[in-house]
Amino acid sequence: MRASFSTALTISMAVALGCGMAPSQPGAGGAASPPRFELSTSCMACHNGLVTPSGEDISFGPAWRASMMANSARDPYWHAAVRREVIDHPTARAAIEDECSKCHMPMAHVQTRAAGGKQTVFDHVPRAAGPSPAADPFALDGVSCSLCHQISSERLGERASFTGGFVIGGTGAAARPMYGPYEVDRGHLRVMESAVGAQPTTAPHVQRSELCATCHTLYTHALDDAGKVIGELPEQVPYEEWLHSEFRTTRSCQACHMPAVEAPTAIASVLGPPRREVSRHDFRGANFFVLGMLAVYRAELGVVATPLELDAAVTRTRAFLRERAARVTIARVDRAGGRLTAEVVVENLAGHKLPTAYPSRRAWLRVTVQDGGGTVVFASGQLAPTGEITGNDNDRDATRFEPHHAEIRSADEVQIYESILGGPDGEVTTGLLTAVTYLKDNRVLPRGFDKRTAPPEVAVHGAALGDPDFGAGEDRVRYVIDLGDAPGPFTVDAELWYQPIGFRWATNLRDYDAVETRRFVRYYEAQAPGSSALLAGARARAE
């Protein structure tokens, strides 16, 4: 008992004196109310200094603070996107900022709503050099430890839980539950209660995909010029894609994006036995591009993570994409006369569409053929330093888009796996609150996904729906190339490339004159040469 009390006292003092004890949160009319959450610095007092038996440092704090989760409120692309929507729909500004803060500033949103207000965005995001002096620390803490570990199991998996519809548990007078997957003994319960006023509570739901789905399943409502709702769009639905795949019975979101440590490892730096299958808290995703921006412009954006931590996150993300996203093979390559025919197969290794989530993301095939002398005689899908894909109709003209191809015969054709949004009159748009439908969605399907029975929110759109070679887990594309008089043997290279933010999604922001949009376009133009990542590739020869 003495050891538990002494440790609790030490932790309490450390938290209060410099480890981020949460301030009170202003409520309606300026009245202060007790915060419902803890800032991440409070959690780091005990959950850093974690090392596996093999010597790997898995400290939760440094891993998390270099993630997109930690920087959700500092994301410069999100700032620009929200500003664009507010400019497009000025009468709905308050509702747009409140809605968009649900998942990018969730702790502040919950506390502001509890006080009877609506959460703002631009009062907290950096304008020139660092965040506003009046910025709420709970807003800037992004998707923090306390947020995820206080989400209860109530209505998880239901439609009401999506689009930030999570329910925070324990908001009464009793100690707040802090949900986790492990049993915690009485002594350790008292440590956390003393330190931060929270009670560790065993809750298996924190390892279920339905928890992630609360913010990673988003439905947006299209608005007309008067701010009236005219339609609904499943903006990003990786959870529902997962439900329609074979992964729903074999692997959760956390299994891939928070991979577990194999050997038993301590989850706290003070007391506590080693635990089995401890989840890493680096939240491996696909947005290496914005992570790179956070590293380069960290002073402007008020980023807390160190350059070394951010560089490690970028490297880890690129490696995750190469290892876990896709496989490319050349199933057949033939040469007959002056013509070469190759069949390229793209296999999706993920448990959702590839790419998934925010519709700015795209993957595409870059296929080149070289003759016996090393001269390139065919190239489809080349990337320009500006971030444009050569031959892509949408990059050349904002009103058009590249169709899905079953067969490619021209260098001006390119197979791009993407979702293209359509407005109420069928026009191509990158405005989330303008879009009412998808004009194209040929993102590569996960294994077990049946496009014929898929519900509307995850449906295939466009020519891919009728392509018999586009189906569960893969797409097959036939390349028919006129070789002319070029000498053999010929080498065929097929590579799958990926961009978190496609050229059109970035450059359309040039039309909006605001601090946030100008800033992001400046960042994008400077970083565009590094906007893509190689996911997979294959090589074959034809004599």
pLDDT of res. 175: 72
Q: Please compute the mean of the pLDDT values over residues 260-284 and round it to a whole number.
A: 93
pLDDT of res. 17: 30
- Which spans in 33-119 are helix H? 40-47, 60-65, 76-88, 93-104, 106-114
Residue 185 pLDDT class (50, 70, 90 cuts)? confident
pLDDT of res. 33: 61
Residues in CB range of 302: below 8 A, 6 or more apart: 74, 126, 130, 131, 140
pLDDT at 498 over 50: yes
> In terms of pLDDT, which residue wins out, 440 or 135?
440
Q: Are 374 and 434 in contact (CB under 8 A)?
A: no
Alpha-carbon distance 137 to 366, whole Å? 44
Q: Please compute the mean of the pLDDT values over residues 229-250 and round it to a whole number.
A: 98
In this structure, of 157-161, 334-338, 376-380, 398-402, the range with the lowest mean pLDDT score is 334-338
Q: Please compute the mean of the pLDDT values over residues 423-444 and round it to a whole number.
A: 98
Tokens of 523: 């960042």
Q: Please compute the mean of the pLDDT values over residues 475-497 and round it to a whole number.
A: 97
pLDDT at 271 over 90: no
Q: What percent of the chain has pLDDT over 90?
A: 85
Helix (H) or strand (E) holding 341: strand 339-348
Q: Are 157 and 210 in contact (CB under 8 A)?
A: yes
Show me where the domains of the chain are located: 2-18+58-272, 319-542
pLDDT at 20 over 60: no
pLDDT at 2 over 60: no
* Backbone angle region of 286, left / alpha / beta, with phi > 0 → left and psi within -120 to 50 → alpha: alpha
Query: Residue with structure tokens 């870059």?
Result: 366
Residue 173 pLDDT class (50, 70, 90 cuts)? low
Residue 21 pLDDT class (50, 70, 90 cuts)? very low
Packing angle of the helix pair 40-47, 2-18 (nearest 10 deg): 140
pLDDT at 215 over 70: yes
pLDDT of res. 192: 84
pLDDT at 6 over 60: no
pLDDT of res. 30: 40
> In terms of pLDDT, which residue wins out, 134 or 479?
479
Residue 11 pLDDT class (50, 70, 90 cuts)? very low
- Residues for the chain: how many in total? 543
Say whether the peptide bond before residue 238 is cis (omega within 30 degrees of 0): no
Residue 174 pLDDT class (50, 70, 90 cuts)? low
Alpha-carbon distance 205 to 200, whole Å? 14
> In terms of pLDDT, which residue wins out, 33 or 515?
515
Tokens of 24: 């009170």
Alpha-carbon distance 37 to 144, whole Å? 9
Name the DSSP letter for residue 518: H
pLDDT averaged over the chain? 92
Residue 230 pLDDT class (50, 70, 90 cuts)? very high
In this structure, of 87-96, 188-197, 311-320, 514-523, the range with the lowest mean pLDDT score is 188-197
pLDDT of res. 528: 98
pLDDT 10s digits, 278-299: 999 999 999 999 999 999 999 9
Q: Please compute the mean of the pLDDT values over residues 142-147 and round it to a whole number.
A: 97
